[in-house]
Amino acid sequence: MDAREMKIKAAEAALAHVENGMRLGIGTGSTAEEFVRLLAEKVAGGLRIEGVPTSERTARLCLELGVPLKSLDELPELDLTIDGADELDPQLRLIKGGGGALLREKIVACASARMIVIADETKVVDTLGAFKLPIEVNVFGLVSTRRAVEKLASRAGLTGDIVVRGASDGPFMTDGGHLILDASFGRIPDADALATELNALPGVVEHGLFINIASLAIIAGPAGARVLTAR
């Protein structure tokens, strides 16, 4: 089973949790896109849901495939969000934001009664941090904010480059008009403490640590899909 097949298996298992009439948060990323494609087939077959997308990219795919959408202002309380993750640990703490949608993903997930994470088994780790931690920051004061993040990391004993995400044609801009710092910490021994400290930094809009947000995770591997709950 290749990587895409595993993502489809996880998405199929998550689809079983979607019920008629649900207000559904719809995630961003390659695994979430497989879920959208399967969801669209169910909608075409008569499933009634109202979806709230976590990014413009997801919104475009949903509209292309006929998945009905509303804004979060129209549906401020959701039944369920289904989204992927870049990393998850045994406590179902996540790193998200590889696709640049972490702010909207976190807002939508926290507006939901439940969040189900769908991922392939390569995303499961003992300790978060091998995946670069995305930190969404305001354009204004970028240099000061970056230095504040570096000082915080140093106090926490975290090392590694902290760089502005982007390419030769300019920095990556989020849907909200912000920049992203990617922090290559390698290992984050105390994700809860780091999340709290990042939240307190002026200039940090949001970060990719999702703590106590996911309800369960559906993990796909060569043997099929399995369910993880927080230890």
Look at residues 104, 100, 69, 98 and name the one whose alpha carbon lies nearest to residue 86: 98
Helix axes 30-44, 56-65, angle to 10 degrees: 30
The catalytic residue among 33, 87, 105, 136 is 105
Contacts of 72 (CB under 8 A, 6+ apart): 52, 78, 107, 108, 111
Q: 105 catalytic, yes or no?
A: yes
Instruction: Give the HSE-up count for residue 1: Cα atoms under 13 Å, Cβ half-sphere.
Output: 16
Read off φ and ψ for residue 44, nearest 5 degrees. Answer: -60, -25
Close Cβ partners of 19 (under 8 Å, ≥ 6 residues apart)? 79
Tokens 């969040």 correspond to 115
Catalytic machinery residues: 105
